[in-house]
C-alpha cells in the first residue's frame, strides 16, 4: 500500500565524529536506538518501520511521517507560536521520553 514515511539520516556532526575514530560509538548508539524503536509503542513516539544504509554507507531510519514534520523546523517556522502550544509540545515530548526511560 502507498504510505508516506520519514527517512532520517545521521547528522553531519555525527558523521564527522564517526570519521574521527568514533565509528564504533556511532554504530553502538544507532543500534541501541533501532533496538528500542523496534519494541516501543506509545502515542508520543513515532512508529519505526526499518533501518539501513545508503550505497555510500550513510545510516538511515524509516519512521512514520508526523503531520507537522520535524518539531525543530516547525518551531523555527512559527516564531510567534502561543505558549500553550509550546507547552503542549514539551509535555508530549516529555511523555514519550518518560515512556522510553
In the prediction, which pLDDT does 9 show? 82
Q: What is the pLDDT of residues 2-60, one digit of tens each?
A: 888 998 887 655 555 555 554 554 567 778 878 888 889 999 998 999 988 888 778 88
In the prediction, which pLDDT does 8 show? 85
In the prediction, which pLDDT does 35 show? 85
- Where residue 11 falls (left for φ over 0; alpha for ψ -120 to 50; beta otherwise) is beta
Whether the model pTM is above 0.75? no
Q: What is the pLDDT of residues 72-95, one digit of tens each?
A: 999 999 999 999 999 999 999 999
Q: Which residue has the cell 543500534?
A: 31
In the prediction, which pLDDT does 95 show? 96
In the prediction, which pLDDT does 98 show? 94
Could you list the beta-strand ranges (E) of the chain: 5-9, 48-53, 59-64
Which backbone phi and psi does 100 adopt, to 5 degrees? -70, -40
In the prediction, which pLDDT does 21 show? 53
Amino acid at each position: 500500500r502507498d504510505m508516506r514515511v520519514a527517512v532520517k539520516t545521521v547528522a553531519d556532526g555525527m558523521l564527522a565524529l564517526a570519521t574521527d575514530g568514533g565509528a564504533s560509538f556511532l554504530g553502538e548508539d544507532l543500534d541501541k536506538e533501532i533496538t528500542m524503536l523496534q519494541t516501543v509503542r506509545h502515542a508520543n513516539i513515532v512508529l519505526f518501520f526499518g533501518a539501513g544504509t545508503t550505497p555510500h554507507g550513510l545510516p538511515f531510519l524509516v519512521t512514520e511521517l508526523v503531520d507537522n514534520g520535524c518539531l525543530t523546523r516547525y518551531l523555527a517556522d512559527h516564531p510567534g507560536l502561543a505558549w500553550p502550544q509550546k507547552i503542549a509540545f514539551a509535555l508530549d515530548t516529555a511523555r514519550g521520553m518518560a515512556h522510553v526511560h
